[in-house]
Structure 1
Amino acid sequence: MTVESTVDVHITRNGQLWLATVADVAGGMSGRSLKELHSEIADGLPFLFGDRDTTPMPVFHYALPGLTSEDLLAFADLQRRATAIAEDYTRTAKARVDHMHELGLTDSDIGELLGLSKQRIQQIRTGSA
């Protein structure tokens, strides 16, 4: 018999409270904010599963009107991809601006070539934004 390494946690909202039920555990947990509830769950799981060698990781399932877990997962994936694109853009912009600056181009000319303002080129070059 293998012990599960994850546990399903179902979260809903009732009035001003967030409510959580842990699969196969009687009772539940609540918090005034989602952050507070997540903290309660993190603190409670070791107690609830003290008979196991390792505490299972929670797998959250949210039930909110008009919003599915798939919606949240899709947004999280989009956020990860957007962050990766922004990081790539920042690296690439810095490399291009630095190279053009080394060629002797002014910030104004670099901005014209890249479709950015002189001020934005200065920010990229100095790493201030």
Structure 2
Amino acid sequence: MTTYQVQVTRDGKFWLIHVPAVERWTQARKLGEIHEMAQDLIEIMTGDPGESIELDITISLPEEVQERLDRAAELRSQASRAQGQAAEEFSSAARTLHDQGMSMREIGEVLGISYQRAHQLVSQNSKAA
């Protein structure tokens, strides 16, 4: 099995497909055609049967789009961290209420959660401490 690098870019209505190993280009009208077109090109240029060809396809996006995707990934990461911190604070609030003598039912009612969830939060916070 031979793996071929395939570099793909959008140009107008078409996807341009470059296979550096055979130093050739082809094109596809739709994204779903890229694999087939690249494999056909490699088969023609090398004589290798299709079943012995593996493709590593990299799609290059316009710089503006890539920047937006990178920013979106960073924001998702920040949101995930913030969500974890919020959960820790919520658990700490439940533990503080418990330490002040509130029952699990009262904690649940005050925080808008079930008493079972209040118990989980208080127990979880106790284990972490």
Task: Using structure 1 for the length normalisation, give the TM-score.
Answer: 0.47
Rg comparison, structure with higher value: 2
Task: Using structure 2 for the length normalisation, give the TM-score.
Answer: 0.47
